[in-house]
Amino acid sequence: MPVQRLLTLNHLSLRQSPPLGAAVRLDFSKVSATQFTQRRLQYQRSLEEEFLRRHRIGAVVTRKLKSGETLLSVSRAAPGVPLWLLQRYNTHLDLNAPRPGTELRIPKVVARVS
């Protein structure tokens, strides 16, 4: 689906992106919802597998979530830690409303040596 069609369906401009966790409208005129879901999950799985082939977790640091922080902001500040990996280490968190003071586990990513 062209990006412009996705933006139009969701009343967004090129400069906007939907909030993390927001529902996004999709066009299933060329592929079924089931096919889309299968392909999306397969694609995400392949990205994760490739990441884990190239990296390992050296350690896990624990700290408390600060006021105003989100998992996305923590992921962006943590070198090399993608959001999906941070989510995997913090399944106890409500992703839509993380609370300050909640204990957060941050994996330290280390590149594998070839």
Reduce the DSSP state of residue 6 to 3 states and report it: helix
Reduce the DSSP state of residue 62 to 3 states and report it: strand
Distance spanning both ends of the chain, measured CA to CA: 37
36, with CB counted inside 10 A (0-12, 13-18, 19+), is middle
For the cut 90, the answer to whether the pLDDT of residue 43 exceeds it is yes
Tokens at residue 59, please? 């350690």
- Asked whether the whole model's pTM tops 0.75, one would answer no
Split at pLDDT 50, 70, 90, the class of 97 is confident
Cβ proximity of 57 and 109 under 8 Å: yes
Tokens at residue 98, please? 């993380």
Average pLDDT over residues 29-50: 95
